[in-house]
Amino acid sequence: MTYMNVELSEQVRFSKTVSETDVYLFAGITGDFSGNHVDEEFMRTSRYGRRIAHGALIIGFMSTTSTMLIERALARGIDSTPVSLGYDRIRILAPVFLGDTVTVTYTIAEIDEERLRTRAKIEVTNQHGELVTVGEHILKWVPRVEPAASTGPVV
C-alpha cells in the first residue's frame, strides 16, 4: 500500500499578488477589521506608512501549497486521506503590503513512514526576494478504510 507518495525535498510553489479585495474579503470573513489592514489614513502615521495584509491571510496561502502537494500525491495514487495536523513555528518576519506579490515555497523536509506523517518547511518571499513569513506544516496521511456495508435506507 502507498500511503504517502511524496519525496524528501519535493517542492510546490504558489504566487499571488495581494489585492485590496483579498484583504477586505478576508476581513469580512474573519471579522478582523483592524486599522492595520483597512484604514490607509491610520497606517500613514505608522512605521509602515501604508496598510499591511493580515498575517493569517498569508498563512492561508501556505494552506494552498499543502493542497497543491496533496493533489500531486493523489494524482500519483495513494491509499490515504491526507489531513493537516497544523502549522508550527510560524514567524512573520516582514510586512506584506497591498500590491505585493508573494511566493510560497512548500518543501518536504521530513517523512515519517512509521507515523504516516510529513513535515514541510514553508517560506514566503515578496517580489523583492525578501523572506516575509516562515513556518512548518505537518500532514497526517490517514489510511483509507472500506466503507461499511449498507443495511438499507437510513430512516
Average pLDDT taken over every residue of the chain: 95
Give the up-direction half-sphere exposure of residue 134: CA atoms within 13 A in the CB hemisphere.
6
Give the global pTM.
Answer: 0.91
Q: Distance between CA 11 and CA 9 in Å, rounded?
A: 6
Q: Distance between CA 150 and CA 144 in Å, rounded?
A: 18
Q: Is the pLDDT of residue 154 over 60?
A: no
Give alpha helix (H) positions in 31-113: 35-38, 40-44, 55-76
Summarize the confidence of residues 64-91 as an average pLDDT: 96
* Complete domains list, the chain, with CATH: 11-143 (3.10.129.10)
The strand pairing partners of 52, in sequence order, are 97
pLDDT at 13: 98
Q: Is the pLDDT of residue 112 over 80?
A: yes
Which pLDDT tens digit goes with each residue over 14-59? 999 999 999 999 999 999 999 999 999 999 999 999 999 999 999 9
Q: Distance between CA 32 and CA 49 in Å, rounded?
A: 20
